[in-house]
Structure 1
Amino acid sequence: MPPSSRVVLLGLLLVGNAVAAQPEASSSVPGARRIELSPEGTGGVSEVVVSPGLSTMLLFDSELQRESIVLEDRQRFSLVDVGQATLRIVPSASTTPGDRFKLMVRFRSGSAPSTAVFLLKVHPAKAEATIEVYRNQRTIETYQQEVRDARAEVLRCKGELARMVSEHEVPGGLTGLLIQDGLDPGGVVGQVLTKDIAKTPASGLWATSFNSYRSSKLVAVDVGIEVKSGALPWRAEGATIKDRSGQELKVLNVWQATPILPGGLGGRVIVEAEAPAAAVQGPFSLKLWEADGPRSITLGNVTFP
């Protein structure tokens, strides 16, 4: 297939078999109705009222493919005169009120819309004498660019999906840590820091236990928190782990099973961060805060084994 034919075919696939039309109030010919064609094909097919023995003239702002005019039951029209940019139609006496005939025209230029479809509705006497048809033209190149952009977005999404699937296919537990080089021969080591942690007064929050852990690439803190009676439930939304110079470890996850209820047994918050062994000399401070409120808790003198 020659390149020009492929371009036309792509245009036809993009705009569909027919382009919908929408009437507008103004026209350049007194008494004429104006129809504007949308390149996206939104709206419904325009009806045109015709009558037996009366002439209806369609005036187009673009050149027609004169040999490609398709009129349903053409033999029931006494005149179908196709000009360079005009189409004159006269139904014959064999048509009866209420009959409907599909009319499709094709435009010679490669812009969209490439076709227009009308529904000719027979009335006993009230034929529309003149109708102006305007194309809101859009070039095939703009559709081709949209296709290229859409393909690029699809490829990006496929890549992201493949990455996510790959990550979720990694086994959990020690196997997952080994696959991702998260363990060295020393394994995962931990320590209890409950008595060593410096607690900054918070809004009705306090830490009841504190443990820290380290693997070859990750650190984690496991904090038990209680909420005083009469306060609202509390849930950690974010966390930071900073050293004395203000440098932060990259927090990967803040986990909490359920909100911590006031006056109860408390709850557990686990914070995981990215930290090669050389970056965990410490000490650090840990800050936890809630999503939609002012309450936070800060714990100092945090070290990792």
Structure 2
Amino acid sequence: MHPVSAVLLLLTLRQVPSPPVSPPPPACEEHQTLELARAGTRDICIARGTLTGLLFDAPVTVELEDEARFAEVLRGRSGLGLVPPADLRPGERFRLTVRFEQESPSRPTTLVLVSQSARATRQVDVFRDQRSREALARQLEEERARNQRLQEENRALREQLAPTPPSPRPREETEPGPRGLITRALRGRPARPGEALRAVHGHSYRASGRVGVRLLLVNEGDTPWPLAGAELSGPRGEPLRDVTVVPTGPLKPGEERVVRVEAPLPEDVPLEALRLTLQAEDTRAFTLPEIPLP
């Protein structure tokens, strides 16, 4: 090939335009914050049938490209709500021109609404300058609450997936203790339908003319369980007198508490088992019908 022809061919190839490169899709978040004073993307995710709201930190006027196609456009002095067109195509983009009333009309800001088929950003907070301390503190508090909620959900999920260890076999024999105290281990009892309290484990005991029950309870309900009193009775339903329960007061949801119920041991009634009823300040009650004694 002639040297001149080679040079002309090289110049021609250099003038061939490169194919356009599509911009990468934006990262869609449920709640987005845009600070116009900082460099960075100004893309906002939208999706068919999903309302996206924009809240500005000052009064604005907005111009939306191809607004007639949108299913809904709601304007306010400092806000804009929009529902995208029903015929929205994946990757379709719309310019949103924003002019703040306190700034020169010749300084508009352009945001880009980008169609995403999977999800959309539901709330966008737009700040002209860097956010105020109050706004940063509010966002930090929201992030802390979100992280705490995720940690709680993660912990609950681990508990659901963790294998249940075999329950240790409680000792049925009596155990002597100081000053004549003898105890007997008790198995736990799961909460029945409609109940909130669950007995995790415990023991019954006799000591110095007294008889009692010590239980570890947990409130598995959604509301506090206000423990107010207790009843102890013998195998034939005869009530024991001067029953004491400590401590009283509400068990918060998820709270564990060790409760001790005690009464003087009747001299003329041989007791081999007890019936325990815990009473709430309202009409609720929790009953263990047969508690073996040592």
Q: Give the structure-2-normalised TM-score.
A: 0.36
State the TM-score, normalized to the length of structure 1: 0.34
